[in-house]
Chains A and B, each alone.
Chain A
């Protein structure tokens, strides 16, 4: 019964989302009244989708194999944890999660105090409701997760073993929170364009929402990369797969938006550009959804294949993006951008940041879509892989990082080269010393590696110097007095430095060996001796595993006891490599178990990956920076202050 309940709730949610979408734009009734309806709509819609989501989860937990989706993605032996995460393990359920999250963001906007004028908040909710309606229709029409399977299956086909990993369980919700979260700045931008006014308040309202989705997106992408590293067994962390790109393009645009909002808030400049970026951000999300969900790509991650879905999303994409851009074209002329600035100023540097990020986002979009166009035009098939993407990505990003070291030291509006250079001198000296030391230690492999490390050192040094100056400029014990936005930026930029160090060193000085070892034999990699002790069978909940024990020693002392596994899942006989990793700050030791080679010997892959953890550590720092920035006192204090004045008569805005 509960699947029908879930289906019914979903249909009701669609109807409610239509009301939520229409009410704010209806004539008659006061703004407050229209807002009231939109608000109630957002909340009821969220409850209904949550109910629907709970019904599907219930079907998974109780092994209801009369639901086709459950039968294809679960199994009697699947552990509870993965039965819950299996809800978003394939197309239909992940779209339901998408809709749930969109309704959740709607609900959050409706509940976020009352700093917004009533008619504006109502319109934002209305636009969010319209987006929800589009996705509800997609679910109900093309991807119903509650489709019955009659007669019911006795057992399910099981969740793809690749997805039975904690990293994969958390990666999609995080990513979707980010993806879908970009709908909020998008709707803020469209509502402002409809109003025909974009004031300082608009940027102030938009900024925390953008930062929040950016944070989730950062965390989601990092989790995905961590999953690939652990689960795919080859020790890589990024492949430039179209599905990865689909999440990375919105991240790049969101990062640009984050920075351009800073200018809009402080200096009231770039406002029309900021609005355009907000539109691009969610458009990139939708493009990603199209790529992943339509089956147009054939790649490691893309499971869905159904042209009907592709056509629907493409049409939806066209309507949403086309509509927003038309609105922009009609209204952007009215946006008055204030704030003149000189060639050398923080505005200029942030503008360069934006140009670089958008150029890279466009380049990656080109590389992702090119093979599709190539095939569609009948030119044959084409592969575009890491060599092309790295070449197009790295130079721009290193330039961007170089500027990230300078930007925060620069003054708004106008700066002069001499004093700026003097301010940066300590950081430059520190960079050179640090860089020389590192180069000496590593006996620099190539020019590129050396340059990347120098730039990473530069970002770190100048960020820390900026932090110290701000600390000194404030009063004693000033750490807690520093704005959290500034602390967030400091952490995020340090994260960039850490990421560059990790990515560079991992690709430049990793060692990988495929070896054949029999019990008692050992092999040395990068100063570590890996001794193969034995292999024994270990039963898993839904798989049989053979687990090897590898004793890792350095100078005779034990460093780690690693236990990589080779699993064979009972449901479909699929073999999986479960690598064992000894994680460390300066290096990971990574062992994966291959095939038996006869005579008791096994094939093993041993990696020594210096600084690989810095990649995810860097991403974690960035995400942490995002969290700090969202909780900045400015937003909280303002919200309280604004709540005191009735929403309807908020002070007229500065244009």
Chain B
């Protein structure tokens, strides 16, 4: 896998952004077109820096788009296509990372953050509510406040 990373770095420069190749395609079914667009957005071009195969004009991306096109027209399901891609290129090809023991923290992280945030919020609100005296001023503070108000406005 490390070798793959290095190779990717080396060929990354062979993948200029800003000049996408467009491929007019004939579809047998309009729903296939939508599925095609959704799928190629979620597959990563392996030789580019950070582009989906929809956005890349690398040869590899063109090949992968053609494969997706042919598989969809051949009646394959989305799952079959992504399975085919991961089998050949590993999870790296998926922009929607699969749930594995190594990505549990990724998928659960935001929910955990929300839980922590929510708990802290609840605790703060409770404490705030019970602290009735916090809003009242001591006599000295009040005098100082009155002086300030008189002085400023």
Total chain A interface residues with beta-carbon distance under 8 A: 72
A299 and B51 CA atoms in complex are apart in Å by 8
Interface residues of A in 362-398 (CB under 8 A from B): 362-363, 366-367, 370, 374-375, 379-388, 392, 396
A351–B125 CB distance below 8 A: yes
**For B114, what are the chain A residues with a Cβ–Cβ distance below 8 Å?**
359, 396
B151–A594 CB distance below 8 A: no
A604 and B22 CA atoms in complex are apart in Å by 7
Q: A380-B91, A382-B103, A386-B95 are in contact. Are A300 and B51 (CB under 8 A)?
A: yes
B37, B105, B125, most chain A CB atoms within 10 A: B125
A385–B110 CB distance below 8 A: no
A 495-528 to B, binary, CB cutoff 8 A, 1 in contact else 0: 0000000000000000010111000000000000
What is the distance, in angstroms, from B98's C-beta to the closest C-beta of chain A?
A: 9
Q: A300-B49, A359-B110, A383-B95 are in contact. Are A594 and B20 (CB under 8 A)?
A: yes
A332 and B6 CA atoms in complex are apart in Å by 46
A348–B50 CB distance below 8 A: no
A338 and B23 CA atoms in complex are apart in Å by 64
A514 and B25 CA atoms in complex are apart in Å by 7
Measured CB to CB, the nearest residue on chain A to B38 is: A387
B50–A300 CB distance below 8 A: yes
**For A512, what are the chain B residues with a Cβ–Cβ distance below 8 Å?**
37
What is the distance, in angstroms, from A446's C-beta to the closest C-beta of chain B?
A: 12
**For A233, what are the chain B residues with a Cβ–Cβ distance below 8 Å?**
18-20
**For A134, what are the chain B residues with a Cβ–Cβ distance below 8 Å?**
none
**For A544, what are the chain B residues with a Cβ–Cβ distance below 8 Å?**
none
**For B20, what are the chain A residues with a Cβ–Cβ distance below 8 Å?**
232-234, 577, 592, 594, 605
- Which of B44, B92, B121 is close to A380, meaning CB atoms less than 8 Å apart? B92
- Which of A342, A366, A381, A594 is close to B92, meaning CB atoms less than 8 Å apart? A381
B18–A231 CB distance below 8 A: yes
B129–A342 CB distance below 8 A: yes
Is B32 an interface residue when CB atoms closer than 8 A count as contact? no
Q: A340-B132, A577-B18 are in contact. Are A384 and B54 (CB under 8 A)?
A: no
Interface residues of B in 96-130 (CB under 8 A from A): 96-97, 102-103, 105-106, 109-110, 113-114, 117-118, 120-121, 124-125, 128-130
A592–B44 CB distance below 8 A: no
Measured CB to CB, the nearest residue on chain B to A231 is: B18
Is B135 an interface residue when CB atoms closer than 8 A count as contact? yes
Measured CB to CB, the nearest residue on chain A to B147 is: A651
Is A355 an interface residue when CB atoms closer than 8 A count as contact? yes
What is the distance, in angstroms, from A470's C-beta to the closest C-beta of chain B?
A: 21
Q: A340-B135, A575-B16, A651-B148 are in contact. Are A385 and B90 (CB under 8 A)?
A: no
- Interface of A: prevailing SS: mixed
**For A352, what are the chain B residues with a Cβ–Cβ distance below 8 Å?**
121
A 592-624 to B, binary, CB cutoff 8 A, 1 in contact else 0: 101101000001110000000000000000000
A340–B92 CB distance below 8 A: no
**For B125, what are the chain A residues with a Cβ–Cβ distance below 8 Å?**
343, 348, 351
A384 and B22 CA atoms in complex are apart in Å by 25
Is B64 an interface residue when CB atoms closer than 8 A count as contact? no
**For B133, what are the chain A residues with a Cβ–Cβ distance below 8 Å?**
340
**For B72, what are the chain A residues with a Cβ–Cβ distance below 8 Å?**
none
- Which of A242, A337, A575 is close to B50, meaning CB atoms less than 8 Å apart? A242
- Which of A355, A388, A514, A576 is close to B95, meaning CB atoms less than 8 Å apart? A388
A385–B95 CB distance below 8 A: yes
Is A241 an interface residue when CB atoms closer than 8 A count as contact? yes
B24–A515 CB distance below 8 A: yes
What is the distance, in angstroms, from B45's C-beta to the closest C-beta of chain A?
A: 10
B134–A337 CB distance below 8 A: yes
A363 and B117 CA atoms in complex are apart in Å by 12
A374 and B129 CA atoms in complex are apart in Å by 43
B50–A641 CB distance below 8 A: no
A501 and B129 CA atoms in complex are apart in Å by 37
Is A36 an interface residue when CB atoms closer than 8 A count as contact? no
Is A339 an interface residue when CB atoms closer than 8 A count as contact? yes
Is B131 an interface residue when CB atoms closer than 8 A count as contact? yes
A352 and B91 CA atoms in complex are apart in Å by 36
Is B8 an interface residue when CB atoms closer than 8 A count as contact? yes
**For B92, what are the chain A residues with a Cβ–Cβ distance below 8 Å?**
380-383
**For A358, what are the chain B residues with a Cβ–Cβ distance below 8 Å?**
117
A370 and B103 CA atoms in complex are apart in Å by 9
**For B135, what are the chain A residues with a Cβ–Cβ distance below 8 Å?**
338-340, 413
What is the distance, in angstroms, from A399's C-beta to the closest C-beta of chain B?
A: 10
- Which of B18, B110, B128 is close to A340, meaning CB atoms less than 8 Å apart? B128
A509 and B88 CA atoms in complex are apart in Å by 33
A384 and B96 CA atoms in complex are apart in Å by 6
Measured CB to CB, the nearest residue on chain A to B23 is: A514
**For B96, what are the chain A residues with a Cβ–Cβ distance below 8 Å?**
385, 387-388
Interface residues of B in 1-35 (CB under 8 A from A): 1, 4-5, 8-9, 12, 16-25
- Which of A162, A234, A343, A655 is close to B55, meaning CB atoms less than 8 Å apart? A234
**For A342, what are the chain B residues with a Cβ–Cβ distance below 8 Å?**
129
What is the distance, in angstroms, from A1's C-beta to the closest C-beta of chain B?
A: 35
Is A117 an interface residue when CB atoms closer than 8 A count as contact? no
Measured CB to CB, the nearest residue on chain B to A355 is: B117
B90–A605 CB distance below 8 A: no
Is A441 an interface residue when CB atoms closer than 8 A count as contact? no
| Extra 20 A-B pairs, beta carbons < 8 Å, given A362-B109, A362-B113 | A232-B18, A236-B55, A298-B49, A300-B49, A300-B51, A302-B49, A343-B125, A367-B106, A375-B5, A380-B91, A380-B92, A381-B92, A382-B103, A384-B95, A385-B95, A387-B42, A574-B19, A575-B18, A577-B20, A655-B141
Q: Can you list 19 A-B pairs, Cβ within 8 angstroms, ordered by A?
A: A162-B17, A269-B128, A338-B134, A340-B131, A340-B132, A343-B129, A355-B120, A359-B110, A359-B113, A362-B110, A362-B113, A384-B106, A387-B95, A575-B18, A576-B18, A594-B20, A603-B23, A605-B20, A651-B148
Chain B residues with a Cβ under 8 A of chain A: 1, 4-5, 8-9, 12, 16-25, 37, 41-42, 44, 49-52, 54-55, 90-97, 102-103, 105-106, 109-110, 113-114, 117-118, 120-121, 124-125, 128-135, 141, 144-145, 147-148, 151-152
